[in-house]
């Protein structure tokens, strides 16, 4: 958990712990809420991939086609930024 918080603040783990020990404020360098939402999207893509692999009614699962779809989703999100 400490490592993740340090990464969110774009500092090393030791720098994060030093600032916390000294009572200094450690600020995130980016929108934490946006990062959490992107992680959720990533998890959902993984769940979708697993569901498509397991369900025979989807037909044969093609990794390359799924990769292309995921890439297009990422590009669409980048255009929104």
**Cβ neighbour number for residue 16 with a 10 Å cutoff:** 19
- Contact predicate 34/20, CB 8 Å: no
Confidence of residue 74 (pLDDT cuts 50, 70, 90): confident
- Contact predicate 29/9, CB 8 Å: yes
pTM for this structure?
A: 0.52
Residue 53: the pLDDT is 83
Residue 81: the pLDDT is 67
**Cβ neighbour number for residue 18 with a 10 Å cutoff:** 13
**Tens of pLDDT, residues 5-64:** 888 788 889 998 998 899 988 877 667 777 778 888 888 888 888 888 888 777 787 888
Tokens of 34: 């946006």
């Amino acid at each position: 958990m400490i490592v993740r918080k340090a990464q969110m603040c774009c500092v090393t783990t030791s720098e994060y712990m030093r600032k916390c020990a000294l009572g200094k404020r450690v600020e995130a360098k980016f929108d934490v809420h946006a990062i959490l939402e992107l992680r959720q999207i990533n998890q959902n893509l993984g769940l979708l991939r697993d569901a498509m692999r397991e369900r025979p009614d989807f037909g044969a699962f093609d990794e390359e086609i799924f990769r292309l779809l995921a890439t297009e989703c990422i590009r669409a999100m980048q255009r929104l930024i």
